[in-house]
Amino acid sequence: MNHIQQPSPDAAASQPAAPLPEGWRADSGMSAAQAAHRLEQDGPNHLPGDHSRGLLHIVLETLQDPMFALLLAAGVLYLLLGDVQEGAVLLGLVLVVLALTLYQEGRTENALAALRRLSSPRALVLRDGARLRIAGAEVVCGDVLVLAEGDRVPADAVLLEGNAVQVDESLLTGEAVAVDKLQAEALFSGTLLVGGHGTARVTAIGAQTEIGRIGSALDGLGQEVSPLKRQMARLVKLLAFVALGASLFLVAAHGLMHGDWLAALLAGIALAMALLPQEFSVVLTVIPALGAWRLSKEHVLTRRMAAIETLGATSVLCADKTGTLTENRMTVAQLYVPADHNPAGQTLAIDYANSMELPEAFHGLVEYSILASMSDPFDPMEKAFHRLGQHFLQGTEHLHRDWSLVQEYALTPELRAMSHVWRAAEGQSDSGVHSVAAKGAPEAIFDLCHLDAPTQARLQGAVDAMAAQGLRVLGVAQARFAGEEWPAISHDFAFAFVGLLGLQDPLRKGIPEAVQQCHAAGIRVVMITGDYPATAQAIAQAAHIGVQQAGQVLTGSDMDALDDQQLQQRMRTVSVCARIAPQQKLRIVQALKANGEIVAMTGDGVNDAPALKAAHVGVAMGGRGTDVAREAAALVLLDDNFASIVRAVRLGRRIFDNLRKSMSYILAVHVPTAGVALLPVLLGWPTLLFPLHIAFLELVIDPACSLVFENEPSEHDVMQRPPRDPQAPLFAGAVLVTALLQGLGVLVVVMGAYVWADTWLSDAAARAFTFTALVMGNLALIFSNRSSTAPLWVSLRVPNRALWVVAGLTVLLLLLTLYQPWVNKLFQFGPLQPLDALMAAGLGLCSVVWFEGLKLWRGGAALRHRSVPPSGPRP
């Protein structure tokens, strides 16, 4: 988009925004009522162009399906032949199949629309003086945005206040260099904060924004095509060519044999309808879309449909500790300060429940931990420090709400500590002298304080003791600085060590059980954290992530010492990665992928984006994650919970299973349908299937392949199987052979039924007998394909309301065709006694015996070829 003119710095500020409501203040923002009124007045914050499909679009798309063209052609032919009733019925069936397709497509579109609403950018705004996370579409002019590093700006705005704000405007300008933003400068919708934080007032939304005016330049971006869809497109093309060739052959053969070319054309149309696998495209749209909707009910948002295919193949799940395995509900549990009279120092366990008093020796530690934090924090650790101070230091001189923050030194990959420089209130300190507070990783604080080796060793013992209890340990330091010429780096302050804080973050409920489910499913769980190794190891053991061997823990410093091949070797056994910087996650992903693993990786920060993009399944945090991480990921955890990932893996396996079952059924059911349309003509028998019969079968096949199989619950062993090979085609080996053998089995039964019926029934009655057997064989295929492993009598106990609705309606329609005279005549059926109908139905259903035998054969073959143990990682 380099051709787009760069917006001027004051473009947003100069836009004619609606006047601010009475009582508006920058520190309180809009009231809920004012925002609702403005939303109603101005409309939602949408960019031009709605990619959702309307009803008319779906109708036009559906009418382009070859099946509808064939139905229309058959109807017109019947009208030309003077058979007005059958022609009218066929044209009426066009409307019925269209309605059924619209129902399925409409349900799919509703599910996709719900996903689009969930995946729309979120915005943090001030409403009634409180911070509120809302959908980006609900942002209105006058809203005060609260922005931080990693956020995407949801609307054009003017910066009210900010600290070191840098914005990536490449979406608009094409320039990759971040732009510094000062107070009163413009921020543009769609641009990205890559540094700093601040607040901004919205001046324009939707089409009135800078990006809205050029929104048409963003249209036409095609969605990615999943490997499965590419595979199915090749299969459909192949079958379409087969259908065309077979139909032309049948037309020629029938015309030459019987001399009736119009009848030959009808037979050719019937065969084309029997062979065309148009259901594949329906299934590949409906099942993944509704599956993604089901995933959202499990608090997992699907941003890329292709991830659903890969989810069930995941072999390594890399999960952040804080907030994913733990509750991200930090509480200061232990304090440590050095003591001159005691070389080991003083340690204090914090008890909030009882009315304990905080000893004076620990006051400074709590004071400087708060000064090293934001005044209005959103980080759980900093909130914990503020709660500690409010609980124990209320009314003392150690809380400084009237001090001013004058300089910040952010945490960097080189120094895992941050520093704040404060100016005291007038009259509280020497003129020009500032207080400096730093907090961070203990080793970084030791480095800032320039401690000697014996002192570091002694303090390291205190760190190890806290970490062994599963506490997250931070160090605190303080310094004083005179003047306004700030050092370039925080190392240049003369810091003195203050103490250590141990924070407790309990495991989320159900995490050990979720980890055990992963192990049973052949998925190795790797915990990644910036915490101290001993802390990480204690949490890993509580979560049942195995760390019994020394080689199963890898630190960031260890990684730096390894080349890529050595790292690949280490990652074969690693279960815990500790003291890991976000940038190192990418190397972890690349090493695991080089080992042949299918990797799912969680992340929430700006620096996590490359790893999320590189992983087979990137999983961003919806609660604490940045917009950058969300956009780089394929999935978003709406509740930031590891257990939701495991539920998503289970559901991903279910979705893929149901896709495979549905497509196996489609392939199988087309074999007898095409065979019954083709073989009688080649053998010189009367024609058994006409276009009307095929249309009837489509009324059963369409809802069965999508609605019935989409509703199938998970197989009982879905989380006891090893991960599948994502490169393996959907139809290969035993799956393809089983589907074809199932279809051939039904074909043999149906043709056998015709041969038998032809000995004592008229041609029309024999046709009715054969059609009944075919319809019931179709139902038998549906019931048998519900499970690829469980016997039929077991799967019958598994509830599926859609199955029984489809089966019941099929039987009712079949009875209507057999015993309603007008319909019976249309189908060219002769009278069939109830006993004969029951016999035909029984013959069709008896093909289940053949299906169950194939299931036993396939199950045995799978056991013989299974090479991955259920509880271990993939080789």
User: Quick one: pLDDT at residue 512?
Assistant: 92
User: Quick one: pLDDT at residue 46?
Assistant: 78
Decide if 508 contacts 327 (C-beta within 8 A).
yes
Q: Comparing 645-654, 824-833, 857-866, which segment has the lowest mean pLDDT?
A: 857-866
Burial class (CB in 10 A: 0-12, 13-18, 19+), 74: buried
Averaged pLDDT for residues 281-294: 80
Q: Comparing 375-389, 557-571, 837-851, which segment has the lowest mean pLDDT?
A: 375-389
Name the band, by pLDDT with cuts 50, 70 and 90, for residue 241.
Answer: confident
Tokens of residue 836, six digits: 């004969």
Identify which of 344-348, 451-455, 734-738 has the greatest average pLDDT. 451-455
Residue 593: which H helix or E strand, with range? helix 584-594
pLDDT digits (tens, 9 = 90+) for 80-113: 655 566 666 656 666 766 676 666 666 666 665 6
User: Quick one: pLDDT at residue 869?
Assistant: 36
Which residues is 167 bridged to in the sheet?
Answer: 179, 193
Count CB neighbours of 703 within 10 A: 20
Concerning whether 639 is annotated as a catalytic residue, the answer is no
Tokens of residue 483, six digits: 């003047």
- pLDDT top residue among 530 and 435: 435
User: Quick one: pLDDT at residue 5?
Assistant: 43
- pLDDT top residue among 55 and 838: 838
Q: Is 271 helix (H, G, I), strand (E, B) or coil?
A: helix
Q: Which residues of 372-393 are buried (b: 16+ CB within 10 A; e: fewer)?
A: bbbeeeeebbbbbbbebbeebb
User: Quick one: pLDDT at residue 600?
Assistant: 93
Decide if 840 contacts 767 (C-beta within 8 A).
no
Q: How far apart are CA 87 and CA 73, in angstroms?
A: 10
pLDDT at 34 over 80: yes
User: Quick one: pLDDT at residue 175?
Assistant: 65
User: Quick one: pLDDT at residue 9?
Assistant: 44
User: Quick one: pLDDT at residue 873?
Assistant: 32
User: Quick one: pLDDT at residue 865?
Assistant: 43
**Strand 316-320 with 599-603, pairing:** parallel
- Indicate the pTM of the whole model: 0.75
Q: How far apart are CA 863 and CA 860, in angstroms?
A: 5
User: Quick one: pLDDT at residue 222?
Assistant: 40
| CA 272 to the chain's CA centroid | 38
Averaged pLDDT for residues 624-629: 76
User: Quick one: pLDDT at residue 120?
Assistant: 63
Averaged pLDDT for residues 655-680: 88
pLDDT digits (tens, 9 = 90+) for 136-155: 888 999 999 999 887 888 88
User: Which among 472, 730, 726 has a CA at the least distance from the CA of 600?
Assistant: 726
Averaged pLDDT for residues 580-585: 85
Q: How far apart are CA 771 and CA 672, in angstroms?
A: 11
pLDDT digits (tens, 9 = 90+) for 502-541: 999 888 889 999 999 999 999 999 999 888 888 888 888 8
pLDDT digits (tens, 9 = 90+) for 182-219: 888 899 888 888 888 889 999 988 878 887 776 544 44
User: Quick one: pLDDT at residue 577?
Assistant: 92
Domains and CATH numbers, the chain: 32-49+122-217 (2.70.150.10), 279-291+654-865 (1.20.1110.10), 300-327+508-640 (3.40.50.1000), 331-504 (3.40.1110.10)
Q: How far apart are CA 692 and CA 827, in angstroms?
A: 7
User: Quick one: pLDDT at residue 157?
Assistant: 92
User: Which among 828, 806, 809 has a CA at the least distance from the CA of 818?
Assistant: 828
Name the band, by pLDDT with cuts 50, 70 and 90, for residue 787.
Answer: confident
pLDDT at 13 over 60: no
Count CB neighbours of 550 within 10 A: 7
User: Quick one: pLDDT at residue 432?
Assistant: 73
Q: How far apart are CA 378 and CA 384, in angstroms?
A: 10
Please name the amino acid found at residue 640: D
User: Which among 533, 416, 423 has a CA at the least distance from the CA of 475?
Assistant: 416
User: Quick one: pLDDT at residue 733?
Assistant: 67
**Strand 599-603 with 576-578, pairing:** unpaired
Q: Comparing 15-19, 420-424, 705-709, which segment has the lowest mean pLDDT?
A: 15-19
pLDDT digits (tens, 9 = 90+) for 726-765: 777 766 667 788 888 999 999 999 999 999 999 989 999 9
Residue 424, C-beta contacts closer than 8 angstroms, at least 6 positions apart = 400, 403, 434, 435
Report the share of the chain in percent with pLDDT over 90.
30
DSSP per-residue letters across 508-571:
PTTHHHHHHHHHHTT-EEEEE-SS-HHHHHHHHHHTT----SGGGEEEHHHHHTS-HHHHHHHT
User: Quick one: pLDDT at residue 803?
Assistant: 92
User: Which among 248, 139, 117 has a CA at the least distance from the CA of 200?
Assistant: 139
Place of tokens 């013959």: 843
pLDDT at 437 over 90: yes
> What is the residue-averaged pLDDT of the chain?
82
User: Which among 213, 203, 118 has a CA at the least distance from the CA of 154?
Assistant: 203
Q: Which long-range contacts (CB under 8 A, 24 or more apart) does 590-598 make?
A: 590/564, 590/614, 591/564, 591/567, 592/316, 592/318, 594/564, 594/568, 595/568, 595/571, 596/874, 597/315, 597/316, 597/524, 597/874, 598/310, 598/313, 598/314, 598/315, 598/316, 598/723, 598/726
- pLDDT top residue among 364 and 48: 364
Name the band, by pLDDT with cuts 50, 70 and 90, for residue 594.
Answer: very high
User: Quick one: pLDDT at residue 867?
Assistant: 37
pLDDT at 311 over 80: yes
Q: How far apart are CA 844 and CA 746, in angstroms?
A: 7
Identify which of 204-208, 452-456, 609-613 has the greatest average pLDDT. 452-456
Decide if 624 contacts 631 (C-beta within 8 A).
no
Residue 307: which H helix or E strand, with range? helix 306-311
- pLDDT top residue among 543 and 70: 543
Averaged pLDDT for residues 561-571: 93
pLDDT at 254 over 50: yes
Decide if 187 contacts 19 (C-beta within 8 A).
no
Decide if 547 contacts 534 (C-beta within 8 A).
no
User: Quick one: pLDDT at residue 220?
Assistant: 40
Q: Comparing 108-122, 543-557, 702-716, which segment has the lowest mean pLDDT?
A: 108-122
pLDDT at 826 over 70: yes
Report the share of the chain in percent with pLDDT over 70.
82
Name the band, by pLDDT with cuts 50, 70 and 90, for residue 623.
Answer: confident
Q: What is the chain's length?
A: 875
Name the band, by pLDDT with cuts 50, 70 and 90, for residue 818.
Answer: very high
Residue ranges of alpha helices (H) inside 708-791 are 709-710, 734-757, 763-784
User: Quick one: pLDDT at residue 755?
Assistant: 94
Decide if 189 contacts 145 (C-beta within 8 A).
no
Averaged pLDDT for residues 250-256: 81
Averaged pLDDT for residues 713-725: 88
Decide if 88 contacts 100 (C-beta within 8 A).
no
- pLDDT top residue among 170 and 747: 747
For 374-533, where are the E strands, in sequence order?
404-409, 417-423, 433-440, 472-482, 496-504, 524-528
User: Of these residues, 143, 320, 702, 836, which one is catalytic?
Assistant: 320
Place of tokens 């000697």: 452
Angle at 309 between CA 306 and CA 313, to 5 degrees: 130
Residue 10, C-beta contacts closer than 8 angstroms, at least 6 positions apart = 185, 186
User: Quick one: pLDDT at residue 413?
Assistant: 74
User: Quick one: pLDDT at residue 864?
Assistant: 42
User: Quick one: pLDDT at residue 874?
Assistant: 34
pLDDT digits (tens, 9 = 90+) for 315-345: 999 998 888 888 888 899 999 999 877 777 8
Q: Is 153 helix (H, G, I), strand (E, B) or coil?
A: coil
